Structure 1
Amino acid sequence: MPRPLNILTLATLFPNASAPNFGIFVERQTAELASRAEADVTVVNPVGLPPWPISQLAQYSALAGLPEHEEWNGLNVHRPNFTLVPKVGGSRNPKAIAAAVLPLLKHLHGKQPFDLIDAEFFYPDGPAAMRLSQALDIPFTIKARGADIHHWGVDPKCRAQILEAANQASALLAVSQALKQDMINLGMDGDKIALHYTGLDQQKFKPVDRAAAKAKLDVAGPLFICAGALIKRKNQALAIEALTAFPGATLLIAGKGEEEASYRALAAKLDVAERVRFLGSVPHDELPALVAASDIAVLVSKSEGLANAWVEALSCGTPIIISEAGGARELVRSDIAGRIVAQDVGAIIGAIRSVLAAPPSQGDVRATVSHFSWQNNGDQLLEIFRKVTTAF
């Protein structure tokens, strides 16, 4: 048997002690890859810290206290710091990351040479990986997930770096066919882009006795859930507004973020505050019970690649109401899976009424994502990495 591939996973999106759900999907993918006998995986999670005095803010002081090296849920993780300039310094981040990471990588590479750098977010990870690959003379790949293309790709200074990295990379990955097309439209070579759907733990995200689960949550009427960061792009405000049309319904909001105060104010203004439960950052292992108890997951983001929350809800037997974003039509192929709607309160209300009037069976909903698994995700990723290292 050939020796295992020695893979360096470069990921600015990765959980840590202060944000255990941040980039959880990257952790799950990496853990699957690391579980294979054919792969040795080292994670480098660069941590951006601003100059003093901004570094004294609570959100940054917690990051400053993270260990430089630790075992995180069985993964070997290094967390070197780089200088971050919030709001205005985005175009500088790839160069700053590469400069901060390179001494560590040279040390690790000298002890056990890496075969490949796996960049897990297109920006800033991709352009940083390009610089590191040139220094170590090894190939690199980049995965696009959504916001890295839709947000950073419209910034001219960042777009130029994104396209240069895409041109230099040995392979590119996209989480949906729709995102692949967006990458092509941006100027990338479609022949280099592999479709790489997210994984899914179908043993955790599965249907339950919904009536009993609702009773445990002290919910009598319809139950809706929004799972995701509380940021404008995720559009939770529309779900709160739609709740006004369903007097007996409850809305669970699982996540935290900068919009929480405005969402709480909106719920109070609309007189639905008692029926909107802000749950904060729910541990990922506790999320399945909440999603499976819900009648509908309302996730009408402004942009996505292919949201893990969509796939996880369907696996729980919970239909989804989502916007025409990213790979929406790659999941919602019929009314069994849910509805694709305009980012409009009236459209959401109509879709909720339609689903509640004729709810699909939990088993039928779950069957729509039966092909999603971390096993399949890992198999495909390992095959891509084998091809890249063989061809380099």
Structure 2
Amino acid sequence: MKILIVLPPDQPKSGGNITYSNRIKRGLARHGIQILIKPLDKVEPQDYRDADIVHAFNAFRTGRFVLPVLKETGKPMVLTITGTDINEYMTKEETRKETYGVVQYASRIISLTESSRQELLNLVPDAKCKSLVINLGVDLPKPRGKSRADFGLDDNSFIFMLPAGIRPVKNPLSAYQPISRLHKRFPNVRFVVAGPEMDPALTAEFKNKMDAVDWAHYLGEVEHTDMPDLILASDVVLNTSRSEGLSHALLEAMSLGKPVLASKVPGNIDLIKDGQNGFLFANEDEFVDKGSLYIENADLRETIAAAGRQWVQEQYSVEREMETFRHVYEQVLCKECCL
């Protein structure tokens, strides 16, 4: 069986989609399933011809461009749908028709959370038969033993670390003001961001703000092999997204026993039980209040981090993830209707 995974263009080399697709490729190789991974702008016509199934990540940014080729050849599509597809592209007048077309053609539609799947079914009830949730697995490289000094960070700092590309949906500057407030109260607080430059206008504004103060540090894009060490070097890992499917970065942080603080949006809500295995914030004041709790109470950090690690170990198994993908691909080739 040959699968072509098509990612949106301009993928950061350490981004969630790359991590996700490479994990599928590694995990299914032992089952004799060959997977080719390419961003949309690098796919050749022969790649489509060679594939038994095309798996598109993101309906609007990827699937709508793949769709005409698949209709012409009659080849099936598996679609991993995103929160942005559901919350933006399927609701806006100018993008709705194309996004719905991809959803209607897909043989299977994969959501990362049950709440995301239910949002899809509210919009497209007929998709029930072909939609399912596949929980992400966590398959991090082993830490290499790098210290804070290797990242240019001070051992005496309390580090809030945001792993995210610099683009509007990740909303990196939303943490800037609350961390500024925390820094005034706790002078050793630092704001560290690791991720690629993905939006020129936002990146310019972001860099200006980060460069203007001594408590904020932008590391740029960090190699995926170094991310475990950077996570372990941090005190709290952040997610500030406006929209989220399910954050690989949060899963990775929780799997390594780090406490997390995340925006209160679908996807993050599915992963984090507020005050139990992490904290959620809906506004700046909540960020400051919950950030302060983490800073002041080491026992609380340890308790929440341990709960987060246990939750990820129980719910986000790579083995279960791979078995479900294998089953989905086999069903699609057999042209079975329902899961």
Query: Is residue 351 from structure 1 mapped to residue 287 from structure 2 by the alignment?
Result: no
Q: Offset at 1:281? A: 0.8
Q: Contact (CA 8 Å) 1:214, 1:220: kept in 2 or not?
A: no
Specify the code of the residue in structure 2 equivalent to 1:359: R
2:19 and 2:86 map into 1 onto residues whose CA distance is: 18
The residue matched to 1:325 in structure 2 has which SS? coil
Q: Offset at 1:152? A: 2.5
2:312 and 2:244 map into 1 onto residues whose CA distance is: 18
TM-score normalised per structure 1: 0.74
**Once the two structures are superposed, what CA deviation does each residue of 1:124-152 show, in whole Å capped at 9, x if it has no partner?**
32233432232222322111132333332
Query: Is residue 32 from structure 1 mapped to residue 51 from structure 2 by the alignment?
Result: no
Bigger helix fraction: 2
Q: Contact (CA 8 Å) 1:170, 1:388: kept in 2 or not?
A: yes
Match of 1:7 in 2: 3
Match of 1:98 in 2: none
Q: Contact (CA 8 Å) 2:254, 2:308: kept in 1 or not?
A: yes
Q: Contact (CA 8 Å) 1:219, 1:250: kept in 2 or not?
A: no
Q: Contact (CA 8 Å) 1:213, 1:293: kept in 2 or not?
A: yes
The alpha-carbon distance between structure 1 residues 14 and 389, as it changes in their structure 2 partners (threshold 3 A), is: farther
Q: Which structure's CA Rg is the greater one?
A: 1
Matches within 5 A, 1:29-108: 29-47=23-41, 79-80=42-43, 103-105=45-47, 108=49
Matches within 5 A, 1:107-186: 108-109=49-50, 114-186=51-123
Structure having greater relative contact order (Cα 8 Å, sep ≥ 6): 2
Q: Contact (CA 8 Å) 2:237, 2:261: kept in 1 or not?
A: yes
The residue matched to 1:239 in structure 2 has which SS? helix
**Once the two structures are superposed, what CA deviation does each residue of 1:34-88 show, in whole Å capped at 9, x if it has no partner?**
52333122334321xxxxxxxxxxxxxxxxxxxxxxxxxxxxxxx24xxxxxxxx
Aligned-residue CA RMSD in angstroms?
Answer: 2.6
2:256 and 2:87 map into 1 onto residues whose CA distance is: 29
2:161 to 217, 225, 231: 225
2:40 and 2:157 map into 1 onto residues whose CA distance is: 45
Match of 1:52 in 2: none
TM-score normalised per structure 2: 0.84
Once the two structures are aligned, what percentage of the paired residues are identical? Answer: 19
1:124 and 1:174 map into 2 onto residues whose CA distance is: 16
Query: Is residue 195 from structure 1 mapped to residue 133 from structure 2 by the alignment?
Result: yes
> Across the two proteins, how many residue pairs are aligned to each other?
320
Q: Contact (CA 8 Å) 2:28, 2:326: kept in 1 or not?
A: no
Q: Contact (CA 8 Å) 1:173, 1:194: kept in 2 or not?
A: yes
The residue matched to 1:118 in structure 2 has which SS? strand
Q: Offset at 1:196? A: 1.5
Specify the code of the residue in structure 2 equivalent to 1:315: S
Specify the code of the residue in structure 2 equivalent to 1:226: L
Specify the code of the residue in structure 2 equivalent to 1:262: E
**Once the two structures are superposed, what CA deviation does each residue of 1:195-235 show, in whole Å capped at 9, x if it has no partner?**
022221155379x8xxx945763230311100101123222
Match of 1:376 in 2: 320
Query: Is residue 21 from structure 1 mapped to residue 35 from structure 2 by the alignment?
Result: no
2:156 and 2:224 map into 1 onto residues whose CA distance is: 25
2:224 to 277, 284, 293: 284
